[in-house]
Structure 1
Amino acid sequence: MKTLFDETILKNLKLKNRFFKAAVWENMATIDGHLTDKLYAVYDKAAKGGVGLILTGYAYVMKEEHPNPNMMGIYHDDFIPEHRKLTQMVHEYDTAIIMQLVYGGSMTLRNPPSPKIWGPSTVKNEMSGITPYEMAKEDIEILVDAFAKAAGRAKKAGFDGVELHGAHGYLLSQFLCPHYNKRKDEYGGSIENRVRIIAKIVEAIRRETGEEFLILIKINSEDFMSDGLTSEESITAVKILQGKGLCAVEVSGGILSDPDVMKNNLSSLRPVHNKEQESFFRAHAAKLADAVSIPVILTGGNRHIDVMEDILNKTNISYFALARPLICEPDLVKAWESGDRKSPKCISCNRCFDPDGVSCALNRRISG
């Protein structure tokens, strides 16, 4: 019988358990993406809390754009020393750390937005109101190189790997989504074409970082749009990327900029009222885990330890990522490991996304 506290090997990386801290919007870096004492403290607390691996909040790969203010940057070598301080701190707790990389595209809350936002096609984003420029092939090559260089910096800073943010409607997710990708060239149309830009990025990162560096992707199980990425296409995309050197896949779901997705609670930010509603994307993740040979990480709505144990032993899903519960209780995994199988305090209210930086509304109310 498998347990959530099994020691496992992810490619060449030993992990002390199957729990990941999922990436979240932290809003604690400087406007230029530099780390702050506040941000170091968040990661110190997360590593101390007992997870096997931390996925950072996304770091933007190009100075010209960042989808939200006060998120981390990795677009210049100057960032390497401060990130090395972060990885050394986390590794002291026998916790691995992977940097999530992003280009936001029209999925941006930055005000004012960058002068020229890229997209696969000139399709208006319903959330931001931005209509991006359609990327020329030369732009795609620039972006591929930016991701590769960012991954190289992450490696030099001591990260155990990188994760491409290919979910939720950010640029790479838009390439996968027919609603946003209307291209008629080799980057549009079939899923084999729509995943091509990500495949090129994976190959470029592999050349930049060598064979042992971990490359993951966060991808939607489906977009939950009538003209979005389907479950079958998502599996096909992962199979293609596996052949290019992808090491693991994190499964999420939903385009956050689509009003119907948000109104109908189909995204990873949906509420959780009972155990039956937990682990939102488990069915797709289980199907994917049967179809590929790389580890599958289930994210979104993971709450109770007994539910995750049941999924672990009834499917080939390998890891479980938690976000909101660990914002509320950073030491939750350590408590579970000690034998306290308590229910998490998190009520999935989404009020953790505070303008002053991510923090639990329940804890703010108690301390206030």
Structure 2
Amino acid sequence: MEYVQMTLDDWLREKEALRQELNSAVGAFVRIGYRLRKIRDGKLYERDGYKSLGEFAKAEYGLEKSTTSTFIAINEEFSKDGYSMELQERYQGLGSSVLAEMLKLSQEDRELVTMDTTRAQIRELKQFEKQEPQENNDLKGVVIEFFRERPKLLNDFYLSEGYVTGDMEELVDLINPSGNLSYRRGRYMLFFYGLEQGIKYKIFGETQTHQMTYTEFFALMQEIYADAISGSRTHEAYYGAPEVKTVTRETSATTTTVTPPQKVPPAEPEKPVNTGKDTRMEEPEEPQEPSGETTTGKTEAMEESEEENTEEKGTSSIPPINPPMQTRKEFLEGCTAWGAALYLSGWYKENSEAGGILGDANRLEAWLKLLVDDKGKELEA
């Protein structure tokens, strides 16, 4: 590059402008990098007797060599035309720490980053690209593990009005309320965005990014959980009841010792032995959501157990509440096209031998007139 001709006044103004940029907002990173590149490429630091840009930046502005390199790299990678004072529109709104983390991402991986992406998520993506996974799973297995860790989310999904009516916005908001969710498992790393952008995912060892719509994601859920869908019991119906833990307390006249919980294999339960120990059973614990949120109050299992005990004692005489009744035709009229498609697809999978009614108008009419509950399940006559 040609040597930059600059008067002494111009040089002093350039130095002061750089100082001001260092004290300005995060968006100035690109401009700082641009000014440092000009000084480096024109060897302007030699005017003040410095031998290198690093020496100049350290002495004049207190910048470490690594920081100076980061400023320059951000300008080279993310400025318009690769050498300007303006950030590319694609990256506007991103923080400087995010831009710095993105420097070592491939162009394909950079497409996964949005304004909501965190620095921690980018680091997780880098680790995913480097570390060979232990599990050789497929996408279906990833979804199964995703909801295994999120019992409340799975139950809420199948309890929601959006599931019945096919309201895609409500369902997406349930799955990804923050608009920014990533999940890593085995060979896959998933990135959840809004309804329009859908879901993107990477497979370990592959450079390209894969795309999935929420319609496809919900259809995969339906395929997995079709036989287990039961509202607040869906997670238990598919994954089984929560593990029961026991606590053994050993009591003497002066001390009480609590032993750690022991997991008992279900196939060979221990027989109770009269040892003088007081063995108590704790209530099953609901698996917690990864978000770290905690819930208080009774679990559904505890509430139902109390209800059963109350009924056995004869202290409750409240009759069961009957579910709202409607014809299947009325139920389908209340669904969106997607909701109706989900319902009919699920019904056909469970009753494929009865699919012939579609060719018989009389049978089809009778089928549509059958009474169902608010979930579309037939009521017993």
Please indicate, yes or no, whether the TM-score normalized by the shorter chain is above 0.5. Answer: no
Structure with more of its chain in helix, by fraction: 2
Normalised to the residue count of structure 2, the TM-score between the two structures is 0.19
Higher relative contact order (CA 8 A, sep 6+): 1
Normalised to the residue count of structure 1, the TM-score between the two structures is 0.20
